Amino acid sequence: MPRIRKASSATRPAAAVPAEWDLSGLLSHPVRDSDLILKQLDQQVSQVEARRPALAPDLPVGGFQDILRLLEEIASLSSKLSANAYLWFSEDTKRAEARSFKTKVEERLAGLQNRILFFDLWWQSVDGPNADRLMAASGDLRYHLETIRRFKPHTLSEPEEKLVNLKNTTGRSAVNTLYDLLTNGLTFTLTLNGRRKILTREQLSIHVRSPKARVREAAYKELHRVFGGQQDMLGEMYSTLVSDWKNENVTLRKFSEPVAARNLSNDVPDEAVTALLSACTQNAGLFQDYFRLKGRLCGIRRMNRYHIYAPHPADRGRYRYPDAVRMVLDAYRGFSPALADLVRRVIDERHLDARMRPGKLSGAYCYSAVPGLTPYVLLNYTGEARDVATLAHELGHAVHSMLAADHSVFTFHATLPLAETASVFGERILSDALMAQETSTAVKQGLLISQLDDIYATVVRQAYFVLFEKTAHDMIAKGATTRDLSAAYLDTLRQQFGKAVPVPDEFRWEWLSIPHIFGSPFYCYAYSFGNLLVLALYQQYRRQGRAFVPQYLELLAAGGSKSPEAILSRVGVDIRSAAFWQSGFDTIAEMVSELERTAD
Ligand SMILES: [Zn+2]
């Protein structure tokens, strides 16, 4: 792995575009060091195994904590190793060495994980009073221990669990790698200013936001031509993944329905998810009104699905990377200097890989391996306003886990429903800071439009992905083909957009291009959850001002040490209530009215 020579942050221009990130905080030489680490892990696992005969419900607290400490060490070391494998792979998904390293690490870790599986199974079998006795003395690990027990009704026998783990590395995980490999290798052809250009997915997707209607349309058509061209391969991968999900979660683990497995791992009651999704369908009309209005304000002659992300004429165009970094830092500083310092640390330690290049994993993510190690952020910076927001977003993830660094490796990660809180809040902080600086009505109109576009893309669009997935999982169980699924997808789009935004037929292929639908079934409602939640929290911030900040930082610092419901109830949020989700949409409705007023 090419490691950049060490440079002190004092001698380096603070905001230079980072060429590649510095992974030396993980392993200096992954292939060589990993053997050493795997050996060390092997020894630690043997130590846990040696304690197996002592496991009994009346196990003394000391012995129990001894095992927990070993398990924490194993989890930390494993997590560093898998982080290294994944980050290295993301730098260049075409590098064979990185791919085989990732596979090797996954297989070896799954093997080690299998050897300590008995602990979780034993822990699930401990009677209530003894479990309470042991948890009472486990401090921060309590929620982690509760989490293991929560899965008891859906846990198989030890040999079965081992088999599932082992087969997953060559099963669903291999199919996911194939999906990444195939889709990251796709290229797209677009004629721009009379010249044919070969583009990556990332480069192509810039053009769906082009100021020219013809280019937006051509970009979508090309996206769907290429993905539609892979329908057989991708459709087969999808039905494999969906059948695997059903076989494991419904048939073997006895979940009531496919989405219930995701809900339990999110620790969100099924009824809260239902309330969230129905709030989204009930408010689809709000975005239909918005897109009608947007069409008028942006001079779009005939609004349809090609044009929903059209830029406002006052959009400022491109942002240089150093300016983007400065804007994001300033915005965070305006909200809380402590948060800005954490953001600064990610940048100064060069844990940020922003440069776009062929083979690099598309999209953006933040990877927090262990508490105390500054998280790593990957993005593909193209200079669009959207990328500045992505920067604020991913750095929000980073500060979230940095604030929670006092927790154990088992409890510092926010659980999924809260995982998007700090990231989306970061985006709100950024857009608010930009709004506050603006004096021109036209530019304000542009900012409101870009915020509403984002809210659409992260709330309603994501909810409809999940609604589609629910249908697709049902349909595949009944033998549906890729064509059937695509027709169903087109239906959900048409329900979503109504008459306000006609959806051309080719959008039936769009779902093939959404990685989460393949890689993490039902994941996307976490975005709707997180975004609506943040809209509500941001209202609280506006009302309470400074007094809100410590309360919010405390919410982030809780990481994943309690259930989402418990963490949120401390700030007065009830996730089961329809009224709460509706309040998020009320905030959006206010923004649409504000936009309407700028039109007068
Ligand atoms: Zn995110």
Q: Per-residue pLDDT tens for 319-354?
A: 899 999 999 999 999 999 999 999 999 999 999 999
Residue 417 phi, psi (nearest 5): -60, -25
Q: Is 32 exposed, middle or buried (0-12, 13-18, 19+ CB in 10 A)?
A: exposed
The whole-number pLDDT of residue 19 equals 64
Lowest mean pLDDT among 57-61, 96-100, 102-106, 435-439: 435-439
pLDDT at 207 over 90: yes
Q: Where on the phi/psi map is residue 371: left (φ > 0), alpha (ψ -120 to 50), or beta?
A: beta
pLDDT at 13 over 70: no
Span from the CA of 417 to the centroid of ligand 1 (angstroms): 11
Span from the CA of 112 to the centroid of ligand 1 (angstroms): 30
Span from the CA of 479 to the centroid of ligand 1 (angstroms): 34
* Strands of 161-307, DSSP E: 188-192, 195-199
Span from the CA of 396 to the centroid of ligand 1 (angstroms): 8
Q: What is the rounded distance in angstroms from the CA atom of residue 599 to the CA atom of residue 312?
A: 13
What would the mean pLDDT of 65-86 be, rounded to a whole number? 95
Residue at token pair 């990732």? 102
Percent of the chain with pLDDT over 90: 78
Span from the CA of 416 to the centroid of ligand 1 (angstroms): 10
Q: What is the rounded distance in angstroms from the CA atom of residue 114 to the CA atom of residue 112?
A: 5
- 372 contacts: CB under 8 Å, gap ≥ 6: 405
**Average pLDDT over all residues of the chain:** 91
The whole-number pLDDT of residue 7 equals 30
Tokens of 186: 């796709």
What would the mean pLDDT of 96-105 be, rounded to a whole number? 92
Residue type, 517: I
Span from the CA of 524 to the centroid of ligand 1 (angstroms): 10
Span from the CA of 186 to the centroid of ligand 1 (angstroms): 24
pLDDT at 3 over 50: no
pLDDT at 505 over 80: yes
Residue type, 570: R
Span from the CA of 10 to the centroid of ligand 1 (angstroms): 30
C-alpha 168 chain-centroid distance: 21
pLDDT at 553 over 90: yes
Span from the CA of 365 to the centroid of ligand 1 (angstroms): 7
Q: What is the rounded distance in angstroms from the CA atom of residue 391 to the CA atom of residue 240?
A: 34
Beta bridge partners of 198: 189
What would the mean pLDDT of 47-70 be, rounded to a whole number? 96
Q: What is the band of 316 on the pLDDT scale with cuts at 50, 70, 90?
A: low
Higher pLDDT, 233 or 387: 233
Contact 372/405 with Cβ under 8 angstroms? yes
- 43 contacts: CB under 8 Å, gap ≥ 6: none
The whole-number pLDDT of residue 362 equals 85
Span from the CA of 292 to the centroid of ligand 1 (angstroms): 28
Span from the CA of 421 to the centroid of ligand 1 (angstroms): 8
Percent of the chain with pLDDT over 70: 96
Contact 48/70 with Cβ under 8 angstroms? yes
pLDDT at 17 over 70: no
pLDDT at 9 over 80: no
Span from the CA of 61 to the centroid of ligand 1 (angstroms): 38
* Strands of 384-539, DSSP E: none
Tokens of 106: 């996954």
What would the mean pLDDT of 549-555 be, rounded to a whole number? 94
Q: What SS3 class is residue 192?
A: strand
Span from the CA of 135 to the centroid of ligand 1 (angstroms): 32
The whole-number pLDDT of residue 15 equals 41
Span from the CA of 335 to the centroid of ligand 1 (angstroms): 20
Helix, strand, coil % over all residues of the chain, rounded to 5: 70, 5, 25
